[in-house]
Amino acid sequence: MEFKVRGHLAKDKGRNVAGFYEVVFEDSFVVRGFLVVKNYKNKLDVLFPSVPDKREESGWRQLGYPITAEFRAALINEILRTHLENVTLAQQE
């Protein structure tokens, strides 16, 4: 499946959220709401679009997620690659 990632860095540097991203599938369908966050080990993680849900143990319900591990890895890698590219561009400004 062909997809591309676009987005921007978070403006508030004091929070865990490092960037906001969306994925365009096959130039036909957009999914917004992906977040790149710094975890407790100060490493980057990708969060999938979600909404608050008190019935869920975590308090959040993911709106969509990959079914296969291979596609999950490809999607996360591309989001992180795009994020690091945005970081590099911001440092050059």
Over residues 31-56, the mean pLDDT reads 94
Say whether pLDDT at 81 is over 80: yes
Q: Give φ, ψ of 39 to 5 degrees.
A: -85, -175
Residue range 6-29, pLDDT digits in tens = 999 998 876 899 999 999 999 999
pLDDT at 1: 86
Q: How far is the C-alpha of 88 from the C-alpha of 93, rounded, in Å?
A: 9
Average pLDDT, the chain: 94
Q: What is the DSSP string of the chain?
A: --EEEEEEE-S-TTSSEEEEEEEEETTTEEEEEEEEEE-TTS-EEEE--EEE-TTSTTSEEES---SSHHHHHHHHHHHHHHHHHHHHHHHH-
The residue to which tokens 């999914």 are assigned? 31
